Amino acid sequence: MTAQNIEIIQKAMAELIETGDVDALAPLLSDGFVHHRPDANSRTKAEWLAAVRASWEKIADMRVEVLQVLGDGDRVVMYSRRSLPDGPEVVVVDFWRFEGGLIAEAWEVIEPVARAAANLSWWEPARG
């Protein structure tokens, strides 16, 4: 099941990036799909698809570099770097949970690359 779930995510992302066809994502989402992101207004399947559709014009030229895709049971995680031609580069971690072969839940963490590096300063050993 894990390999199949990874394949679904890779196919969905590739199709969205290549064609911009947001409606192609709909059959991959369960009817009870929930999008979890505190700063977003989209929670249900219909709300999330509408939000992606509305924002697609602004991000259609986005470059996406998938760095890693991992799967374990009913969960898939994808780590990527994304950028617009005239915008900042961001790192994105997407989490998906599958149920019955469909995406049931999604979470995402988005962080500007410059901030991500700055946030690691706490990890540096103390000098002195």
Residues 54, 12, 98: CA angle, nearest 5 degrees: 105
- C-alpha dihedral sign at 23, 29, 34, 37: negative
pLDDT tens, position by position, 47-56: 999 988 988 8
pTM assigned to the model: 0.82
Q: Exposed, middle or buried: residue 51 (CB in 10 Å: 0-12, 13-18, 19+)?
A: middle
Instruction: Dump pLDDT digits (tens) for 76-87.
Output: 999 999 998 888
Of all helices (H) and strands (E), which one includes residue 54? Answer: helix 45-59
**Structural domains in the chain?**
2-121 (3.10.450.50)
Secondary structure of residue 125 in the 3-state scheme: coil
